[in-house]
Amino acid sequence: MEIRDHELIIVGAGPAGLCAALYAGRSEMGAVMLEAGLPGGQLLLTELVDDYPGVEEVGGQELADQMAGHAAKFGVEVERAHIEVLRRDEEGRFLAVAEGGKTYRAPAVIFTAGGTPRPLNVPGEAQFMGKGVSYCAICDGAFFRGEDIVVVGGGDAAVEEGEFLTRYGRSVTLIHRRDELRAAALLQRRFREHDKTRIVWNSVVTEITGDERGATGVVVKDVNTGDESEIAATGVFIFIGFTPNTGIIEEHVDHDGAGYLSTDRDMRTSVPGLFAAGDARSQLVRQITTAVGDATTAVFAAEKYLLNLREQKQ
């Protein structure tokens, strides 16, 4: 088994990972950033970003490229590696084992592997992703000002984000597969009391329709009658669950009820040497700005941790 030693491993290369890489490179920490695919994470699914301070409008892909180039400028090592397991050896060092067995070893890890929105898996979803189909109301809501919006799901996220979307949309139609919502009563009340909202019960989306400009609506099937109808909408927001990509961590790490990693204010998890930043971390909002903020803190906390470790060994 090939083992490569580093001082710090950064798992993931979304905005949090890329920002951690930038600072770790700049501090010459001997870090490696491991990324399964292209750098950018959720940015690669985002058509346009208009809420990154100082950058009025930029394509998600373009911002990802700029962040990757910026990190590279500071000389951080980047490896294309699909990590299957993150565990610790008997000396407490972390081992990130990639597909094929190649292993990266370091006394500290910043975990920025993010999370994955659960997809509906219906025709049109992938085709119109970033062109009407979205998994983030805060990120994309403002692009649908004065337009008709559909929200899919019945949990806290769907109802809360649906209510948030009323500030932009002309109408917000929530489509839920059952006849009652899973969301907390208070969130439900706020949503239902808004004059722009309505709920389509007992219905599933079977297709997202659109044209060359983007999504134009959804085909909805009544689960009781089997009847199909079309609802016009240019924004289709899907909130049917979000899974943090924490499954590769072998050991128990404290987390919240939805599986996001709990950290202290310095991004330390319950496992010494393991820091978390970005979407995988338990927090109020998941934005590019919060991801890079978390990552900045995590790098300096990791640097302190490594310094203490060295002093203890001397």
Options 19, 136, 279, 294, the catalytic residue: 136
Q: What is the DSSP string of 272-299?
A: TTEEE-GGGB--S---HHHHHHHHHHHH
With tokens 């109808």, the residue in question is 229
> What CA–CA distances, in Å, run from 193 to 179, 181, 187?
18, 15, 10
C-beta of 66 vs 224, nearer to ligand NAP: 224
Segment 166-195, which members bind ligand NAP (CB under 6 A)? 177-178, 182
Q: Which stretch binds ligand NAP (CB under 6 A): 36-44, 50-58, 209-217, 240-248?
A: 240-248
Segment 49-108, which members bind ligand NAP (CB under 6 A)? none
Q: How many residues bind ligand NAP (CB under 6 A)?
A: 19
Give the list of residues 6+ apart from residue 121 with CB closer than 8 angstroms, or none: none
Does position 222 interact with ligand NAP (CB under 6 A)? The reply is: no
176-184: long-range pairs with CB below 8 Å, 24+:
176/152, 176/200, 176/201, 176/202, 176/203, 177/202, 177/203, 177/204, 177/223, 178/154, 178/202, 180/154, 181/154, 181/155, 182/154, 182/155, 182/156, 183/154, 183/155, 183/156, 183/158, 183/159, 184/156, 184/159
Catalytic (active site) residue 136: yes
Does position 240 interact with ligand NAP (CB under 6 A)? The reply is: yes
* Closest-CA residue to 187 (of 161, 151, 153): 161
> Beta strand 115-117 with 31-35: parallel, antiparallel or unpaired?
unpaired
Beta pairing partners, 10: 33, 110
Least distance between ligand NAP and beta carbon 225 (Å): 17
Residue 57 per-residue DSSP state: -
Task: Please give the single-letter amino acid code of residue 210.
Answer: G
Binding track over 196-215 against ligand NAP, x by CB under 6 A: --------x-----------
> Beta strand 228-232 with 214-222: parallel, antiparallel or unpaired?
antiparallel
Least distance between ligand NAP and beta carbon 289 (Å): 19
C-beta of 1 vs 185, nearer to ligand NAP: 185
Catalytic (active site) residue 19: no
Q: Which stretch binds ligand NAP (CB under 6 A): 50-58, 151-159, 227-235, 266-274?
A: 151-159
Segment 103-142, which members bind ligand NAP (CB under 6 A)? 120
Does position 242 interact with ligand NAP (CB under 6 A)? The reply is: yes
Query: Which residue of 65, 79, 147, 156 would you call a contact of ligand NAP, by CB under 6 A?
Result: 156
Query: Which residue of 85, 126, 138, 258 would you call a contact of ligand NAP, by CB under 6 A?
Result: 258
Options 139, 148, 279, 294, the catalytic residue: 139
Does position 237 interact with ligand NAP (CB under 6 A)? The reply is: no
Residues forming contacts to ligand NAP in the complex (CB under 6 A) are 120, 152-158, 160, 177-178, 182, 204, 239-242, 257-258
Q: Which positions are annotated as active-site residues?
A: 136, 139-140
